[in-house]
Amino acid sequence: MGHSIYNTEGIILGSFPVGEADKFFRIFTRELGLIEATAQGVRKTESKNRYGLQDFSLSDISLVRGREVWRITNVSTMKNLFFDLEEKKEARDSLIKIILFVQKLVHGEEKNEKLFDLILSAFEFLKQKEINATSLKNFELIYFLKILDNLGYFDQSIQEEKFKDFLSYDIDDDLINKMSLVEKDAQREIEGALRETHL
């Protein structure tokens, strides 16, 4: 009896080599949540999957469930979030902070399409806009709030008037500017939520 093949979009969060030519990956996927997976022979120059499995690649990934971890059978590259922001170093650094923030908070396999789409919306905004350093800081704070809210780390107090707009609306220039008014409060909320999770 053959293994079932699962197909999903995924963002490669990180990887390390295993054995002579294999590699082990942490991947945040749309359909399966955060998973760990291996790919055989992917470090060989002739491997057709190697480019789609570079860190911060967004790829269509085919997987089968192994005994302990997933095994990657096929990869089709969509884009590399890192390379697409190559000319915008500060924006790229902000996106990496957001991705690492998600990686810190998400544990185990649990489908969360909204969180996956939050990361992609951050990438698209950064790609299309020119943002100064102050606005980038505000941008990060808004996304940290959105991520924590998505994962249920806030009690109802976060829904008070002060933060409601940041959690309810899509990001735009007005929302970024508005964060300057409550920046310190937002930082306190984020730090408090992280303390509660012992991170």
pLDDT in tens, 46-69: 888 888 898 899 999 999 998 888
Given this structure, which CATH class describes domain 5-80? mainly beta
Residue 199: is its pLDDT beyond 70?
A: no
- Decide if 171 contacts 194 (C-beta within 8 A): no
- Give 1's pLDDT tier (boundaries 50, 70, 90): very low
pLDDT band at 40 (very low <50, low <70, confident <90, very high): confident
Cα separation, 6 vs 171, whole angstroms: 32
| pLDDT tens per residue, range 7-21 | 999 999 998 888 888
Q: What is the dihedral of CA 6, 9, 11, 12, to 10 degrees?
A: 40
Mean pLDDT of 166-182: 93
Query: Within the chain, which residue ranges are assigned CATH 2.40.50.140?
Result: 5-80
